[in-house]
Amino acid sequence: MKKHFLVAPVLLSLFLAAALLPAPASAQPLPYLTQWGARGSGDGQYDTPIGVAVDGVGDVYVADFVNNRIQKFTSSGVYITQWGTYGTGDGQFNGPNGVAVDAAGDVYVADTQNHRIQKFTGNGGYLAQWGTLGSGDGQLSAPRGVVVGASGDVYVVDTGNYRIQTFTSAGVYVAQWGTLGSANGQFRYPAGVAVDASGDVYVTDMNNHRIQKFTGTGTYLTQWGTQGSGNGQFFVPWGVVVDGGGDIYVADRGNNRVQKFTNTGTYVTQWGTRGTGDGQFYYPVAVAVDGGDNLYVADTGNNRIQVFGSAPVSAQSTSWGRIKALYR
């Protein structure tokens, strides 16, 4: 009899320990935190926000496509400044798209319809530019994505030429890879690009509905994704970013959601449906993370930025209802 009485408390303590553990973080969507923006041309308003980046102090830069400007905000959405007007001059834009920030706080903008990259200080002071329309080394055709690696090299998605080009931070041509097609290492309208801590490069291959992964010099490593709406499938994926833990977030534009993967392409989780509510999307295009791994999403069709926290929704949930039931 004594043995039976001892077993029950032991089992109960084991159950309580398991119940009090956080739910597995990997399988949960990130919690909604805040949003800002509305359609318009005033300070803090947008007309088709299509690029987003976060600097080392947490300030947020948004490529406001139709308004031909870059806007800068605090991490909570307080407007700081802006720069840019329509045109071809230094500091002017014709459809700015991707935006990136380097370790020094300088800002790079893919000036898509001017077929060039422009470089600015963090407050919009013009520094440099490179690129002309063409298919030669260092020339560009409707560049969309841009990112800066840990080494300082700049990776540009040369969308119209179906390739990735790399440059120094001063715009000196380094290398390129990619051609039109659907084989490994080929592209059909690449759009977004991200670089992880080890220097590997991730590219959203929009019309092939997949993510391709390369070394920093363009050697093909792997890919994932097919056209569809299931877990791990895509419909015109656009933006991509790597968080501090090496996981990959993809703006799955046509499916109005964000998907999360490991760096080898294993599906982790997703969130989002079409709509205007908190955590819903209408053609999300770009994604960025800050130093705390909070995720910023350019919710393009809703003309806003949405922010999601680094802790999953159910990361701290416990089974208190089940625990209480043991004592009834």
Number of other residues whose CB lies within 10 A of the CB of residue 169: 18
Q: What is the mean pLDDT of the chain?
A: 90
Q: Say what the pLDDT of residue 252 is.
A: 98
3-state secondary structure of 315: coil
The mean per-residue pLDDT over the stretch 170-188 comes to 98
pLDDT band at residue 19 using 50, 70 and 90 as cut-offs: very low
- Alpha carbons within 13 angstroms on the beta-carbon side of residue 138 total 10
What number of CA atoms fall less than 13 Å from residue 193's CA on the CB side?
A: 34
* Mean pLDDT on 2-7: 41
Residue 130 is predicted with a pLDDT of: 98
Nearest alpha carbon to residue 50 among 302, 310, 227:
302
Give the pLDDT confidence of 232-273 residue by residue, as tens digits. 999 999 999 999 999 999 999 999 999 999 999 999 999 999
Buried b (16+ CB within 10 A) or exposed e, 14-40: eeeeeeeeeeebeebbbbbbebbbeee
Tell me, what's the pLDDT at 320? 33
Nearest C-alpha neighbor of 157 from the set 184, 187, 130: 187
* The pLDDT value given to residue 298: 98
CA distance 328 to 63: 58
Residue from 180, 225, 169 nearest 202 by CA: 225
For the stretch 95-136, pLDDT in tens is 999 999 999 999 999 999 999 999 999 999 999 999 999 999
How far apart (Å, rounded) are the C-alpha atoms in residues 170 and 173? 9
| Whole-number pLDDT of residue 315 | 41
What would the two tokens of residue 68 be? 């031909």
Residue 9 reports pLDDT greater than 90? no
Q: How sure is the predictor about 20, in pLDDT bands with cuts at 50, 70 and 90?
A: very low
Is the pLDDT reported for residue 43 higher than 80? yes
pLDDT value, residue 132:
98
Smallest Cα–Cα separation from 226: which of 179, 291, 180, 182? 182
- The dihedral built from the CA positions of residue 56, 243, 210 and 263, taken in this order, carries a sign that is positive
Mean pLDDT of 26-41: 90
182-220: pLDDT as tens digits:
999 999 999 999 999 999 999 999 999 999 999 999 999
Q: What is the pLDDT of residue 27?
A: 62
- Residue 29: per-residue pLDDT: 87
